[in-house]
Amino acid sequence: MTLAPPRPSSPPGPAPAAPSGALSATLAGETLEARPSGALWWPARRLLTVSDLHLGKSERIARRGGALLPPYETQDTLDRLAEEIAALAPATMVCLGDSFDDLASAALPEAEATRLAAMMAGRRWIWIEGNHDPGPVPLGGEHLAELREGPLVFRHEAHLDVAEPGEISGHYHPKARLRGGARRCFVLSPPRLILPAFGRYTGGLDVGSEALRRVAPRGLALLAGARVVAAPLDRLRG
């Protein structure tokens, strides 16, 4: 994956951020937008992708006798997802696995299930299986191990040997340590693009970790925030 080239009059570097704060890039010849929220937008297909929602995390931890977390993470995650859907009106929504903290968490409270159903109405909605939710959930939409759309494949976890021109995945919850604290980030390591976790209370894995070095030995971090900013992985890894 490469960032879109700047205009001839611009100095070398990433394409300027859009008014939304998104950063445009190309993968397998397709223009994609890494958005400040951590979502990925494919304008030509009107396809919106998020990863690792982990809905129901606080409920799952409480159910298993763990520490109590504020029970608002599902509501907050759905708030931000609804904002992205309202802004972009996607024809297709792809959730890249670990959408629920476990399969029992997919039995959402009625109010949250109703809200999610309203977001799903009128569009194709695809649940990709993750390691936390490795099977169909009791909701509408399609349930797939992976999705192939044009030159891109969407799956939960990056494959070490990628046969496709472009692979979009999640799973690792990548973050970069900066002077002001850690920031969620996309990881670009052609032909891979790894999305940050979209859900609250999900934690994260530093881009310098051995696991991320293995699947993304070189490339860029696209730092989420008010604006998406690109930084070389080598600089963030020290």
Distance, CA of 176 to CA of 19 (rounded, Å) = 24
Asked if residue 50 has pLDDT above 70, the reply is yes
- Provide the pLDDT confidence category of residue 10 given band limits of 50, 70 and 90: very low
What SS3 class is residue 222?
A: strand
Asked if residue 59 has pLDDT above 70, the reply is no
Q: Where are the domains of the chain?
A: 2-6+21-237
| Span 218-232, average pLDDT | 95
CATH 3.60.21 for the 2-6+21-237 domain, yes or no = yes
Both tokens assigned to 36: 């400040």
| Span 174-199, average pLDDT | 93
Q: What is the rounded average pLDDT for all residues in the chain?
A: 84
Strand-pair category, 152-154 with 192-194: unpaired
Kindly calculate the radius of gyration of the chain based on its CA atoms and give it in whole angstroms.
17
Predicted confidence at residue 78, as pLDDT, reads: 92
- Provide the pLDDT confidence category of residue 95 given band limits of 50, 70 and 90: very high
Whole-model pTM: value is 0.87
Asked if residue 230 has pLDDT above 80, the reply is yes
Both tokens assigned to 157: 């976890």
Asked if residue 63 has pLDDT above 60, the reply is no
Predicted confidence at residue 57, as pLDDT, reads: 54
| pLDDT tens, position by position, 120-161 | 999 999 999 988 666 677 788 999 999 999 999 999 999 998
